[in-house]
Structure 1
Amino acid sequence: MSRLGFNRPPTVLLAVIASTFFVGFGGGVVFPILPNLGAVLGISAFMVGVILSANRWVRLVANAPAGALVDRYGTRKPFVYGLLIEGIATFGYVLALVLPAAASLRWIAESLPTAAIGPVVVSADWWMTPIAVAVAPETWFLLARVLWGLGSAAVFATAYTIAADLSDSGSRGTNMGVVRGGITMGFPAGLVLGGIVSSLAGNAAAFTVAAAFALAASVVAYRLVPETHVTGDRSGESIKPWDIDTSVPAVTVGLVNFGLLFAYIGALFATLVLFLNENELSLLGLDPQGTSGLFMAGTVLSASAFMLLGGRLSDTRESRTPVLLAFLVVSFVGFLLLARASSVLDLGLACVFIGAGQGGTSGPMMALLADLTPDERMGRASGTNNVLGDIGGGLGPMVSLPLVETVGFAPIYAACAVVPLAAGVALLLGVHRETGTFLPGRTAGEAGAES
């Protein structure tokens, strides 16, 4: 076997990968549908951005408690319940389309124009307003994304901690890469599901299939994932949303995650369907929704492949830093290509580079965090990483969607190209401050933990 040979992950990690893959459908299915559906449902571009990023804003206050729960009570229960919550949340997308919208209740208001309550005559518009708001599609989409955020906070904190628990310095990058790949591989499946199935069978059908798979994920986890994270008794400690790990490694890795998700999820994924529509680009004769699903799926497939490669590369080198920097540069090149894209081929090449850059950093980045973090704080450190990543992913749609209407796509994508370079600078500064060198060894954290 070569130095880059891959060993089969432990059975527990395979179960984690399967669970996060199935539940990931619900995360991806909404992206190719909602931006285009906004105009049909009367949802503004800003509100669409709020809905798409709502799960990340919720995780801002849920990530730290999720990490603290893991460090206190272990990984099994938070992982299983988190998956179940995400499955239930995915059904919220179905409700958003099935329940009548505000406009469809107008006939009730017209048939019952007034209501007398003693001497007071109440207009139907007055008492119908809260009902209309309660059944409006945007209300249910928003609630579903909020619930998804709560569940995913628990899933992310536990998945990475399980991988760290089952790894040493020689396998940590690979295991983090495959777990991250499992988390994200479901996302492109959801993108394809949302794009193609919605084009062939309707939006409600796409959401229903995604919800069924998401609920199946919790069953897989319940049956196959044991407890892996046993820590000392910390029952006297309180759990607060702001109780995050503020160590230099956690904040450094979190800042890198912030920049990557701002550009990748927040900007690219939130605007791609609009970019395709404006430039009249199509694959296989599909509409912008279906085409965007394929492009985004290709991007995430590229990311997933390079997650495994990047993690394994970092396990075979004395230091993980050069691997991280190399893939940040790849991401920079990808966004430059995206800013200049004018054809299907140009766009496809840009997506491959962006996916490779995003994926190649994921395994080494989480492995570096585990290298430099004591086991008993890994749950909280994962929470910090998720908090900062969710700020980036949450800001992205809210900033990019309104701005593309004002300045266009090319300036936004060009600006995103600078973000990975800034993340690289933050990485070098943080690593040097913590370890005294820009190229710390893979066992630096273990040595520190033992001292």
Structure 2
Amino acid sequence: MAAATQLRRSLWVLVAAATLTVMAGAILGPIVPQIQRELGVSGSAAGLIITTHGGVIVLASPLVGALVDRIGPRRPFVGGLLVYALGGGAGLVVDSFYPLLASRVVLGLGTAAVYTSVTVLIYELYEGQAMERALGYRSSANSAGAAVWPLIGGAAGALAWNAPFGVYLVALPLGILAAATIPETRSSSEADDATADGRERTDEGPGGVVVALAVFRDRPTLPLVYLLYFGANALLYVIVVFYPQFLAGIGVTSSFDISLYLAANGAAGGISAIAYDRLLRYTGRSTLVFAAFVLWTAGFGIATAVGTAVGAALPVLLFGLGIGLVFPSTFAWVEAFAPPDRQGQFSSYIASFGYTGQFLSPVLFGAIVPIAGIGGVFVAAATVAGIAAAALGTHRFTGSSF
């Protein structure tokens, strides 16, 4: 374990990098209409500039996880930051649709590497409450990024349509800083020793489906953790996608005013995530997740009835508080349940399930809009959260371990 001072420096580098995984799509949200005009493409095509990297993350994360298990997380982390800067910053000089779309694929590869490497680095550099605190800070940074990056993107877009792409270049100095401050970890040293001795893994491979199925069979709680993260991200995107439409219906139409509600959601998540490790001194993770489900059920339920701009702030605050409890709990459970020599593989599934939830959310909940309107979406979301709360409450009442 590295010295305490080095670990503190490393933590801030990891926290800063965590915000970049949110920035990958969030910073371009305010300039989608500008992209559409400048490139002469449809709104759907312009939207692909935001969503493509997410699809790449879903597909690439297991490959990144296999690489992390083979060589350790430090080198994929540093390399991922540099690839992130290359793919994101390319938008500064690209002025046609398909090359820009290709650059977003590169960005997705870099984001996948950063996402999974940050997770495994936290697992390997910190222990006990220090790890719980680091996971809370990581989730808090994600929430802060969700609040701040769209504002920065909108401000930069006022200068030039492609100016927000320049913000991605912040990953370049961060990558250099990471190379200088992030220490080698246990798995990195073991991988180097194995290479020097000429030893190779003889099983199905770090990303093998057979291995994953065997682990899921022996540790049936682990798939439930991924399902939790999938559901949390799907519900998060109910807020991101449908809440602006709901706000327009009660007279909140300014893009800046709408961004304040989304920023409040992120700020609330940041607050609860910072308090996460302290809360664990008094209760367990399952209790915190149960509380989050209750908060989400109440928040979406209130959204079905509220009709004023002031009242509309409460649902996003409640939902944000829940997110700040669920996200670090998910990461901590994966660390606890996954095999120690396959942290990269099973951490990569977090990213895949999370981004799949974000992608499918508008599809699953959007089908309700023609039938029951935006209010129906919130009823459905409240129902999902309520069922999850009841299931987890029953699980806890029976004394089952989770």
TM interval, short-chain normalised? 0.7 to 0.9
Letter in 1 for 2:162: A
Query: Which among 189, 213, 219 is matched to residue 170 of structure 2?
Result: 213
Distance 1:322 1:13, change over 3 A: same
Amino acid across the alignment from 1:250: L
Q: How does 1:295-444 map onto structure 2 within 5 Å?
A: 295-314=261-280, 316-317=281-282, 319-400=284-365, 404=369, 407-424=372-389, 437-440=399-402
CA contact (8 A) 2:34 2:161 kept: no
1:109 equivalent in structure 2: none
**What is the rounded CA distance, in whole Å, between the counterparts of 1:298 and 1:195 in structure 2?**
17
Cα pair 1:162 1:229 within 8 Å, conserved = no
- Contact kept in structure 2, 1:64 and 1:383, CA below 8 Å: yes
Instruction: Provide closer, same or farther for how the CA distance between residues 366 and 207 of structure 1 changes in structure 2, counting only shifts above 3 A.
Output: same
Q: Percent identity?
A: 23
What is the CA distance between 1:409 and its match in structure 2?
2.0
Q: Which runs of 5+ in 2 are unaligned?
A: 1-5
Equivalent runs, 1:36-435 vs 2, <5 Å? 47=45, 50-94=48-92, 99=95, 135-136=96-97, 139-140=98-99, 142-198=101-157, 200-208=158-166, 210-230=167-187, 231=190, 233=194, 235-236=200-201, 238=205, 240=207, 245-246=212-213, 247=216, 248-265=220-237, 267-277=238-248, 279-281=250-252, 287-288=254-255, 290-314=256-280, 316-317=281-282, 319-400=284-365, 404=369, 407-424=372-389
The 1-side partners of 2:275 and 2:43 are apart by 37
Q: Give the C-alpha shift of residue 351 in structure 1.
A: 1.5
* Alpha-carbon distance in 1 for matches of 2:267, 2:401: 29
Q: CA deviation at 1:190?
A: 1.0
| Counterparts in 2 of 1:161 and 1:327: CA distance versus 1, 3 Å | same
Deviations 1:27-84 (A, max 9, x none): 3212233278658866556556655433232222211121221122111111111122
Write the letter of the residue equivalent to 1:223.
Answer: A
5+ residue gaps, structure 1: 1-7, 100-134, 441-451
| 8 Å contact kept, 2:84–2:111 | yes
Following TM superposition, by how much is the alpha carbon of 1:328 offset from its aligned partner in structure 2, in angstroms?
2.0
Letter of the 2:84 partner, please give it: E
In structure 2, C-alpha distance between the alignment counterparts of 1:141 and 1:165, rounded to whole Å: 36
Q: TM-score, normalised by structure 1?
A: 0.73
C-alpha contact 1:64 1:240 (8 A) present in aligned 2: yes
TM (norm. structure 2) is 0.81
Which is worse superposed, 374-383 or 355-364?
374-383
> Which amino acid is 2:378 matched to?
Y
Distance 1:402 1:223 in 2: 49
Cα distance in structure 1, aligned partners of 2:322 and 2:112:
24
Separation of aligned partners in 2, 1:329 and 1:317: 18
Quick check: 241-250 or 74-83, which moved more?
241-250
In 2: Cα distance, 1:140 partner to 1:428 partner: 50
The root-mean-square deviation of aligned C-alpha atoms, in Å, is 3.4
Q: Report the 3-state secondary structure (helix = DSSP H, G, I; strand = E; otherwise coil) of the residue aligned with 1:194.
A: helix
- For residue 311 of structure 2, give the secondary structure of its aligned residue in structure 1: helix
Instruction: State the distance in 2 between where 1:350 and 1:39 align.
Output: 34
